[in-house]
Amino acid sequence: MKVILFDLDGTLIDSTQAIIESFNVAFGYFNKKTPEEKNIKKLIGLPLDIMFENLGVSRNEVWDWVKIYKQHYRKISIQKTKLLPFAKEAVINAYAFARLGIVTTKTAEYSKELLKHFKLLDYFEILIGRENVQNPKPHPEPILKAVYLMNAKREITYMVGDTCLDMVSAKEAGIFGVGVIGDYTPKSELLKCADIVKNSAFEAVEFIKNYK
């Protein structure tokens, strides 16, 4: 049976509003000017600590910033996150012919809360979040861990994601990556790292269903 691993942000859900607001709160807490929204958005998909470092926070302070971010994010994440168009249909469609997992750089605890809210959690056998690995995507560790825990065959395992982090991780782990066009990575960039690019998670699932 095929296995499909999904990324979350930009692939199944849109939590941009919650993410940007939580960065605003963190920068405000430390009396620093918040970077431009476009500079935050292009980093979404990376772990929070790396995002903050790329936005100018020193490594020895970064976890204090992450803590403030998370305190606010948890309060608002559910009401300020939405499913992307046809994401639920994509999951239900995939569940009919494949075993499913989530591989994300998002905190697993928050990811489960969101998926439970959207009534999708029970479709997934496994969820690998930031705290479940030492090396997040684009390192292959998260995907390899999912493959191991699901006892999956890599030749029939697929990663569906909207960034090159997902595609590089898939390639390094020896599985097939299907890119999804979203708001965080331009299509031109995604085409450089993905085997196949589709317009949505639903189209990606349809491709995988028919791929031999």
CATH number, domain containing residue 144: 3.40.50.1000
Whether the link from the prior residue into 138 is cis, omega within 30° of 0, is yes
58 lies in the same domain as 85: no
Residue stretches of the chain with pLDDT short of 50 = none
Boundary-marking domain end, from 61, 76, 91: 76
Amino acid type, 170? A
33 lies in the same domain as 127: no
Boundary-marking domain end, from 24, 47, 76: 76
131 lies in the same domain as 199: yes
DSSP label of 44: B
Q: Can you read off the two tokens belonging to residue 78?
A: 């559910």
91 lies in the same domain as 69: no
Rounded CA-CA distance 131/117 in Å is 21
Q: Which helix (H) or strand (E) holds 98?
A: strand 98-103
What's residue 45's pLDDT? 86
8 lies in the same domain as 46: no
Domain that holds residue 35: 16-76
CATH code, 56: 1.10.150.240
pLDDT averaged over the chain?
A: 95
Q: Are 167 and 193 in contact (CB under 8 A)?
A: yes
CB under 8 Å to 43, separation ≥6 — which residues? 50, 51, 54, 55
29 lies in the same domain as 99: no
Q: Are 129 and 108 in contact (CB under 8 A)?
A: yes
Q: Are 161 and 179 in contact (CB under 8 A)?
A: yes
CB under 8 Å to 202, separation ≥6 — which residues? 86, 87, 89, 90, 93
Rounded CA-CA distance 51/124 in Å is 27
Based on the residue annotation, tell me whether 7 is a catalytic residue of this protein. Answer: yes
Q: CB-hemisphere CA count at 13 Å for 52?
A: 26
Determine how β-strand 82-83 pairs with β-strand 13-14. Answer: antiparallel
100 lies in the same domain as 195: yes
62 lies in the same domain as 149: no
Domain count, the chain: 2
Work out the end-to-end distance of the chain between its first and last CA atoms, rounded to an integer number of angstroms: 12
154 lies in the same domain as 111: yes
100 lies in the same domain as 71: no
What's residue 7's pLDDT? 97
- The vertex-167 CA angle with 162 and 171, nearest 5°, equals 165
What's residue 14's pLDDT? 95
What's residue 180's pLDDT? 97
The predicted model scores a pTM of: 0.93
